Amino acid sequence: MHWRWRDIEPFTGRAAKEVAIEDVERRALILANPAFDGETVTTQNLIAAFTVLEPGDRAVPHRHTAAAIRFSTRADGALTIVNGRRCEMKEGDLVLTPPMCWHGHINESGRRTVWFDAANMPAICALDASFFEPGTRQDERFWEVSDAGSSEYRFPGEAVRKDLQSMPAGPDGAATFRYTRNGGSVMPTLDLFLSRIERPTRRRRATYNAVCLVVSGEGRSQVGEQHFEWSRHDVFTVPHWTWASHEARGAPAQLFIVTDRAIYERLELLREEIQ
Ligand SMILES: [Fe+2]
């Protein structure tokens, strides 16, 4: 499935106008894939969304067993507080909210902020292990924290882009940065990547599922029988065991790729082929 940013963007304004942040847990435009019969999932084990905050909005603290991430697309001036750490959300920054970590969001800027979210809620629900604990809207102390220790939860986009710049192409032809902690996947159930597409990639299929956010550039992907012509901030899915290849048009493109690869790796179910 392919969602175009140009189709999504008008809904950010509409959501901001029609939904007060005080009335909801999160103001998020969920990318619900019609292939899943009305279930609010984006692909088999993953859910993705764009979250919208108006100036001054605070999204109430909460925590849950699902692991989640957010990648800043247009969220300069927004902050995510994770376990008492203040994480900035400059363009390209990644913020992790590991299972059962308290987290809330605030927009301290003077304009609307939007970022890309992903979580493994469908996998956790399939395992019947979904727990959710609401926080309180009144606790001022939650927001009054510093950024000391935030590197535990935040990958600055600037540093990642710099690392990616010097990386050689991998076996599929794309240069790929893997966000890691202790040498492994960034969280025990989520594995995240930033790929630079310069030349057409070789076809790949794997047992895991992927949600791809176009960070920069434009191009096309062949995913199974589908052709997706994408541009900046579009999102598309690569379902498990489906051949996929990517091609940039003009300048190189960057894809941020959220996967459940770590689950398959840990369960010894990881299979991958490149043609
Ligand atoms: Fe959350």
Residue 54: predicted pLDDT: 97
Residue 7 burial (C-beta neighbours within 10 Å; 0-12, 13-18, 19+): exposed
CA of 89 relative to ligand 1 center, distance in Å: 16
pLDDT at residue 147, as a whole number: 87
Q: Are residues 7 and 92 in the same domain?
A: yes
* Residue where one domain finishes, among candidates 154, 189, 222: 154
| Ligand 1: centre distance to CA 268 (Å) | 28
Range of the domain at 7: 2-154
Nearest alpha carbon to residue 197 among 146, 150, 244: 244
The per-residue pLDDT for 113 is 98
Q: Given this model, what pLDDT does residue 263 score?
A: 97
Q: Strand 28-30's sheet: what is its strand order?
A: 28-30, 47-53, 113-119, 68-74, 94-97, 154-155
Q: Are residues 86 and 183 in the same domain?
A: no
Cα 227-233-236 angle, rounded to 5 deg = 35
In terms of domains, do 222 and 245 share one?
yes
Q: Report the separation in Å between the CA atom of 68 and the middle of ligand 1, taken as the mean of its atom positions.
A: 7
Residues of the chain with confidence (pLDDT) below 70: none
pLDDT at position 219 is 98
Answer yes or no: do 215 and 175 share one domain: yes
For residues 133 and 64, is the Cβ–Cβ distance under 8 A? yes
pLDDT, tens digit, for every residue of 63-98?
A: 999 999 999 999 999 999 999 999 999 999 999 999
pLDDT tens-digit series, residues 208-234: 999 999 999 999 999 999 999 999 999
Residues 12 and 115 in one domain: yes
Q: For position 17, what pLDDT does the model report?
A: 96
CA–centroid distance, 58 to ligand 1, in Å, is 13
Asked if residue 209 and residue 143 are part of one domain, the reply reads no
Residue 154 and residue 183 in contact, taking contact as beta carbons nearer than 8 Å:
no
Q: Which of 127, 154, 181 is the last residue of a domain?
A: 154
Structure tokens at 2: 């392919």
Shared domain for 131 and 50, answered yes or no, is: yes
